[in-house]
Amino acid sequence: MIPSSSNGLGLKKGAWNAHEDKLLKDYIEQYGEGKWHLIPRETGLNRCRKSCRLRWLNYLRPNIKRGDFAEDEVDLMLRLHKILGNRWSLIAGRIPGRTANDVKNYWNTHIQPRSKQQKTEPDADEPLQDAPVTVINPQQYTMSKTQNLSTSNKAQIVSNGDGNLISSSNEGGNNNFNVSYLSSNVLLDEKTKKYLDELFDDREMEIEGDIEWSFGESSAQAEALDVVDQEEDKNRFFDFSLDEIMWNPMDSQQP
């Protein structure tokens, strides 16, 4: 906790008190989120816009869940982290009631120490989960950051049934998952389509067989996720980088 003090501009720092919380909450409930730069001026709060935004998002916002993460929340977090990396806001957007800060803190205090320990003390009986996967001349399909997909909308990233990846934008809302470009003719195998459906849609679906996730060992590879369908000996995989979510189907070329 940072001690209560003020910076060179006379803005207060450190823990918020109940009065400040009330001023902020009342203002946002009346005028809505977004106009952060106006809040200090309009409410008289002696806080910077960033501090106001953070306090609202991480603490004052309605429906924030507190306390320990449930088993299913942790499971979802692990799966999403494998795809998205340290994109806490995207991960939090898929876990109702949890903030990016919550997810990040939980990861840093509970999961990361465990995984570091596992790396230093590998269990001989357990297969290594982070065995590198060779990336062979990937064809890239880029999903970038300008199209919003929110948790409140059903259509997210889904296959359209023909093996093509499609997306739709949301109608506003928070915790957006942002994707701007999806190739309309990326061919997916059935198992992967189902996995994406389950992951990015609210429907529950059964996936038969295994989808194997792994990370490379170099820093560049560590930022990416490869999904390899080894069961059918296909070299199909996806590669989601940190800077842009990359789509790399190895054999997606239509004849």
Partner DNA sequence: AAAACCTCCAACCGCCAAGCG
Partner DNA sequence: TCGCTTGGCGGTTGGAGGTTT
Q: Which residues of this protein are in contact with DNA, per CB under 7 A?
A: 1-3, 7, 12-16, 33-38, 47, 49-51, 53-55, 58-59, 86-90, 100-102, 104-106, 108-110, 144-146, 176
Question: Shortest Cβ distance from residue 73 to DNA (Å)?
Answer: 13
Nearest residue to 73 via CA among 90, 104, 89, 94: 94
Question: Shortest Cβ distance from residue 183 to DNA (Å)?
Answer: 19
Question: Shortest Cβ distance from residue 201 to DNA (Å)?
Answer: 20
For the chain, where are the E strands, in sequence order?
5-6, 12-13, 141-143, 148-149, 157-159, 165-167, 177-178, 212-214, 226-228, 239-240, 245-247
User: Under a CB-based contact definition with an 8 Å cutoff, are residues 58 and 97 in contact?
Assistant: no
| 3-state DSSP of 12-25 | EECCCCHHHHHHHH
Local structure of residue 5 (DSSP, 8 states): E
Please tell me the total number of residues recorded for the chain in this structure: 255
Instruction: Using the minimum distance from each CB to DNA, give the nearer residue, 80 or 228.
Output: 80
Question: Shortest Cβ distance from residue 164 to DNA (Å)?
Answer: 25
Question: Shortest Cβ distance from residue 147 to DNA (Å)?
Answer: 10
Gap between the Cα atoms of 110 and 92, Å rounded: 16
Give Dmax over CA atoms of the chain in angstroms: 66
Question: Shortest Cβ distance from residue 62 to DNA (Å)?
Answer: 16
Instruction: Using the minimum distance from each CB to DNA, give the nearer residue, 110 or 203.
Output: 110
Instruction: Using the minimum distance from each CB to DNA, give the nearer residue, 58 or 235.
Output: 58
Instruction: Using the minimum distance from each CB to DNA, give the nearer residue, 159 or 170.
Output: 170
Instruction: Using the minimum distance from each CB to DNA, give the nearer residue, 35 or 82.
Output: 35
What's the N-to-C CA distance of the chain in angstroms? 60
Question: Shortest Cβ distance from residue 194 to DNA (Å)?
Answer: 26
Helix axes 190-200, 71-84, angle to 10 degrees: 120
Instruction: Using the minimum distance from each CB to DNA, give the nearer residue, 88 or 215.
Output: 88
Nearest residue to 213 via CA among 112, 79, 91: 79
Instruction: Using the minimum distance from each CB to DNA, give the nearer residue, 58 or 169.
Output: 58
